[in-house]
Amino acid sequence: MTEFVSLSVDEGVGTIRIDRPPMNALNRQIQGELLEVADEATTRADVRAVVVYGGEKTFAAGADVKEMASMSYSDMAPQARKLSAGLGAISTIPKPTVAAVTGYALGGGLEVALGADRRIAGDNAKLGFPEILLGIFPGGGGTQRAARLIGAPRTKDLIYTGRMVGAEEALAIGLVDEIVGADEVYTRAVAWAAQFTTGPALAYAAAKKAIDNGLDTDLRTGLDIESELFAGVFASDDASTGMASFVENGPGKATFTGR
C-alpha cells in the first residue's frame, strides 16, 4: 500500500493523485510510490489513459528540501538515478497521459508534469525550476525533458534564473498545452484522457514509443524505430478490426478491444 500516491480508476481513466499536504513535497517515499503506481497503471487493463493530479490547490512544489539539505555528494551519488526515475515515472506509462496542474509546479513537481504527454494548467498555475536558488539544479529530468520540449535557450533561462512563470507565459513558450480556470483543470484533464479509453491501446503505445524513442536519436534511426513498431501493430486485433471497419463502413466507426 502507498501512503501519498494513489491510483483510482473511473470508466477507463486512471487518476494518479499526489496527496502530501500542504505542498506535496516530493520526498524519497513519494518518488518510490510514483514508480509503484506508474507500474500499476501500466499493467492494469482497465486503465486506458492516465491523469496525474496534485489536488485543487497545488500540483507539487518540488522535492523535499529538508530531506536533501544534509546530504553530501556521497549520500546523493547512489540516490540520483533513483530520484530521476521516480520523478520521471509518469513518462514510462505506455498510455496517453496528462498532467492536471493547479497552483505550484516547481522543481521536481514540474519534472513530474513534464513526464506526461500533455499538460493542462489552471489560470493560477506557477511553474519553474527554483533549484539554482539553492545552489543546485534540476536533477529529476528537468534539464533533458524541458530542453526537448521548449528548446535549450528557454530551458536555460528558466534554470539559470530560477524564476517562476505564470500560466500565460508557460503556454506561450510551450511548457503547457492548455489553460482553463483553476476549478476546471481536473475535469478538463479527465475529458481529454477519456477520448482514448475505447481506442486502440496497442497503437497508442507504439506511437508513443516511436515518438519518445525517436527523439533520443538521429532521424534515420528514428525512422527505423517507427517502421518496426508500425509493422508490429499489424499483429493486433484492433488493426484488423479498424481497417476492416474502414473498408466496409468508412472512418471512425470501428469498435476496438485494446488487443
Query: pLDDT per residue over 174-229, tens digit each?
Result: 999 999 999 999 999 999 999 999 999 999 999 999 999 999 999 999 999 999 99
The pLDDT confidence band at residue 1, using thresholds 50, 70 and 90, is confident
Tell whether 136 is covered by a domain.
yes
Residues 240 and 156 occupy one common structural domain: no
Residue 5: is its pLDDT beyond 90?
yes
Tell whether 59 is covered by a domain.
yes
Looking at residue 135, what is its pLDDT?
Answer: 96
Mapping DSSP to helix (H, G, I), strand (E, B) and coil, where does residue 183 land? Answer: helix
Residues 57 and 77 occupy one common structural domain: yes
Residues 136 and 228 occupy one common structural domain: no
Kindly report, residue by residue over 113-132, the tens digit of the pLDDT: 999 999 999 999 999 999 99
CA angle 119, 85, 65 (to 5 degrees): 85
CA-only gyration radius of the chain, Å: 19
Q: How far apart are CA 59 and CA 101, in angstroms?
A: 5
Number of domains within the chain: 2
Looking at residue 34, what is its pLDDT?
Answer: 98
The pLDDT confidence band at residue 81, using thresholds 50, 70 and 90, is very high
Residues 97 and 207 occupy one common structural domain: no
Residues 219 and 124 occupy one common structural domain: no
Q: What percent of the chain has pLDDT over 70?
A: 100
Which residues does the annotation mark as catalytic? 111, 131
* CATH number of the domain to which 27 belongs: 3.90.226.10
Mapping DSSP to helix (H, G, I), strand (E, B) and coil, where does residue 77 land? Answer: coil
Residues 154 and 213 occupy one common structural domain: no
- Answer with the one of 194, 212, 238 that is the final residue of a domain: 194
Tell whether 97 is covered by a domain.
yes
Residue 129 lies in domain: 5-194
Tell whether 142 is covered by a domain.
yes
* CATH number of the domain to which 216 belongs: 1.10.12
Looking at residue 76, what is its pLDDT?
Answer: 95
Residues 229 and 108 occupy one common structural domain: no
SS (H, E, C) 119-135: EEEECCCEEECHHHHHC
Looking at residue 73, what is its pLDDT?
Answer: 96
Tell whether 134 is covered by a domain.
yes
